[in-house]
């Protein structure tokens, strides 16, 4: 898969809402934040539109703006304003040929996971599981998140995951693995199973994050991946943030669930990767070739354009 062109200073950014909307006031705050960074901004007209109370307009509108921004030669990068709900409803309306012909930076996470899978698997495009404008940049764009964001989007030959201070990588199972990075939000990944947009994990490194789930639901989702054959196909697993996810006992965690679900498989597992629904939010290039090494406690991405 190919990295898009590097983000340049003063670039024109397309601000999109493929899932849920924000308020009109928030839209203006998001624009101001990007302009303060020196960017020019083109905004979709559905950023503050609500359908059903949880989607930023209908499927044709939300997908249409993604298509327009990829087709627009002036737009150099597309940043999602937030995640939310309804992203999987627009997949049938995405113009894959336009995206293949106009590969560019695309950033988001959470419900945007379904679009990462689509663009990685169908368009051979590296996308970025990284900060969203309303969710991560308006009130709190911490230095670790900001540094990683710009480092990932301007990388030359390689992009190393730099461990934020106080968030050491953990080792669940030792080993070294290499493969294209796939994954994202656990609930959205499971929702892809059995569809024409199903996640492919064969020979890949699987990244997983989640928010606000009980350990029982996390367990159910992980074993859905296991029962679908998705875990045994992976070359390695990276566990991100599990923000506000409850457990019945502190002694039994998502790490235990994953290790049990992959017992007997030669799959290295690393955890405490700071990417997901919390701060710092470190950008990960989805679709890029990734090397994870528990001996070195390192995660390294190759940049190929």
pLDDT digits (tens, 9 = 90+) for 177-206: 999 999 999 999 999 999 999 999 999 999
Query: What is 12-141's CATH number?
Result: 3.40.50.10740
Point out the catalytic residue in the list 110, 114, 135, 192. 110
In the chain, CATH 3.50.30.60 sits at 160-302
Strand pairing class (158-160; 298-302): antiparallel
Burial (0-12, 13-18, 19+ Cβ within 10 Å), 244: exposed
- E strands, 196-282, are 205-211, 236-243, 269-271
Does residue 217 sit in helix, strand or coil? helix
Q: How far is CA 82 from CA 17, 18, 28, 235, in A?
A: 7, 8, 14, 30
Active site residue 129: no
Calculate Rg over the CA atoms of the chain.
Answer: 18
Burial (0-12, 13-18, 19+ Cβ within 10 Å), 298: middle
Q: Is the dihedral of CA 298, 148, 20, 41 positive or negative?
A: negative
| Position 235 pLDDT exceeds 80 | yes
CATH superfamily of 160-302: LD-carboxypeptidase A C-terminal domain-like (3.50.30.60)
pTM check: above 0.75: yes
Q: In what order do the strands lie in the sheet with 205-211?
A: 158-160, 298-302, 289-293, 176-185, 205-211, 236-243, 269-271, 170-173
Task: Tell me the pLDDT tens digit for each residue of 102-158.
Answer: 999 999 999 999 999 999 999 999 999 999 999 999 999 999 999 999 999 999 999
Q: What is the pLDDT of residue 246?
A: 84
| Position 277 pLDDT exceeds 70 | yes
Task: Tell me the pLDDT tens digit for each residue of 16-29.
Answer: 999 999 999 999 99
Percentage of the chain lying above the pLDDT 90 cut: 97
In the chain, CATH 3.40.50.10740 sits at 12-141
Active site residue 214: no
Give the chain's mean pLDDT: 97
Percentage of the chain lying above the pLDDT 70 cut: 99
| Position 75 pLDDT exceeds 80 | yes
Active site residue 198: no
Q: What is the pLDDT of residue 249?
A: 67
Point out the catalytic residue in the list 145, 210, 277, 289. 277
């Amino acid at each position: 898969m190919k990295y898009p062109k590097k983000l340049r200073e003063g670039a024109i950014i397309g601000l999109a809402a493929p899932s849920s909307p924000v308020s009109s006031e928030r839209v203006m705050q998001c624009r101001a934040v990007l302009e303060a960074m020196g960017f020019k901004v083109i905004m979709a007209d559905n950023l503050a539109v609500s359908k059903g109370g949880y989607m930023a307009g209908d499927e044709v509108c939300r997908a249409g703006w993604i298509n327009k921004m990829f087709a627009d030669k002036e737009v150099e990068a597309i940043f999602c304003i937030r995640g939310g709900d309804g992203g999987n409803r627009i997949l049938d309306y995405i113009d894959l040929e336009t995206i293949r012909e106009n590969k560019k930076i695309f950033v988001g996470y959470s419900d945007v996971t379904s679009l990462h899978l689509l663009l990685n698997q169908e368009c051979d495009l590296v996308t970025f599981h990284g900060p969203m404008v309303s969710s991560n940049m308006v009130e709190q764009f911490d230095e670790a998140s900001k540094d990683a964001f710009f480092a990932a989007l301007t990388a030359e030959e390689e992009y190393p995951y730099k461990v934020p201070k106080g968030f050491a990588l953990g080792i669940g199972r030792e080993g070294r693995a290499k493969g294209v990075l796939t994954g994202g939000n656990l609930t959205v990944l499971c929702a892809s199973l059995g569809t024409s947009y199903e996640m492919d994990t064969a020979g890949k490194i699987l990244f997983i994050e989640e928010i606000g789930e009980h350990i029982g639901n996390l367990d159910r989702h992980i074993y859905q991946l296991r029962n679908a054959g998705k875990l045994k196909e992976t070359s390695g697993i990276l566990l991100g943030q599990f923000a506000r996810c409850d457990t019945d006992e502190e002694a039994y965690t998502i790490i235990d669930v994953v290790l049990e679900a992959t017992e007997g498989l030669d799959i290295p597992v690393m955890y405490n990767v700071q990417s997901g629904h919390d701060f710092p939010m470190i950008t990960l290039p989805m679709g890029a070739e990734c090397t994870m090494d528990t001996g070195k406690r390192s995660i390294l991405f190759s940049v190929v354009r």
